[in-house]
Amino acid sequence: MKITIFGSGYVGLVTGACFAEVGNDVLCVDIDQHKIDRLKEGIIPIHEPGLEELVVENSREGRLRFTSDIREGVDFGLFQFIAVGTPPDEDGSADLRHVLSVAESIGTHMQEYRIVINKSTVPVGTADLVREKVRSVLAGRGTEIDFDVVSNPEFLKEGDAINDFMKPERIVVGVDDPRTKELLRFLYSPFNRSHERFIAMDIRSAELTKYAANAMLATKISFMNEIANISERVGADVEAVRRGIGSDSRIGFSFIYPGVGYGGSCFPKDVQALERTAHKHGYHSRILQAVEAVNHDQKGSIVRKIREHFDGELKDCVFAIWGLAFKPNTDDMREAPSRRVIGELLEAGARVRVFDPVAMQEARRIWGDHEGMYYARTPEDAVKGSNALVVLTEWLVFRSPDFDMIRRDLANPVVFDGRNIYSPEFMQQLGFVYYSIGRPPVLGNG
């Protein structure tokens, strides 16, 4: 199969590398010439475990190529994947300019039958807009060429995207033509061997499925954070509550871990976009608005605890920050809780010493040479001379640190744990003042 993928960001690059890995010929197209040049050199613009190896190997074997030539991309593949960004517009709705720009390019250069596949996360009805854009461009050229438009949303978890693509739980395809459905089924057959994962449906349902999935997961997170906040006020332990409800098979343990809120490129954007879509069609989505509101407040929960502990006097305090990415195994800091926490601490006159295993370059891009920022070389370096340690991302390297070092190097033995990765009983035995989410604080071994 010959496949063209427009957009060489997170989704496009993973999709292209995985399709090439099973033997397809893939051409990735991007208008950013600098990015294309670096990809040709094997330099990956994002951190995703296993992705660099796939890109380098398949590029060497000739199955994966990169270009900025749009005409070449349209001429190349029967399957034309659109995997460009859909950033939130000013009102929170998805900005479709890049998607429709690709559709226009396909209509401009198309010479024979093509299957146009929306891989980007897009609102319900986008396939209709893409179809109309291609059709209008073809009409402007005075030509008629058959084409189909398909919705094929991605369900990739950052940090585990390769495994998600190669061993998917489901392959959702929105299609309105039986022939096109079978072509997509054949394209995805290498990933659909052990049991049937291919789920065909109408196009609008496929478009909604992606938003509904992310909104459901975001809802579980916000709900658990709501329970955590109630737990703190009634003297309960949210971790015990989590185990109690998670053991119910109807609920399960996935996405019911309390913390400092969700972030990343998907959940915040998709919840907002779905809420705006509902509003556009005359429906007031109270649950989605509540999910957003709880998450916004939760990102400020750690700073509120810090202010309380230090009696509101944060000026000239120094805080060690462990974890900047919105989750482990990625360098993505979009909408990360760390950005809100660090921003509020700096605004209050505090200084921060930050460390993340892979997101330091992104942090430098965001804050640059801010006088209140110190970019630590190691977790231990971040702790030295700080008034307290603040944990914001549950990286494995933070789970079993040298607590004797932490207690020795901190000016005060105070830890604010935004991910509940430590045991309150253990921290009490070590003599720490310890604050977490949804659990009673530990005020030292005394």
- What DSSP string describes 224-291? HHHHHHHHHHHT--HHHHHHHHHTSTTT-STT---SS---SSSHHHHHHHHHHHHHHTT---HHHHHH
The rounded distance, in Å, linking the Cα atoms of 56 and 362 is 23
Residue 424 and residue 440 in contact, taking contact as beta carbons nearer than 8 Å? yes
Helix (H, G, I), strand (E, B) or coil at 425: helix
Residue 325's closest CA among 314, 311, 310, 335?
335
DSSP 135: H
Backbone angles phi, psi at 265, to 5 degrees: -90, -10
Residue 171 and residue 146 in contact, taking contact as beta carbons nearer than 8 Å? no
18 catalytic per annotation: no
Environment class of 299 (CB within 10 Å of its CB; exposed 0-12, middle 13-18, buried 19+): buried
Backbone angles phi, psi at 364, to 5 degrees: -65, -35
Catalytic residue among 18, 28, 266, 317: 266
| Integer angstrom CA distances of residue 102 from 16, 31, 75, 137, 217 | 17, 10, 14, 12, 30
Mind telling me the catalytic residues? 266
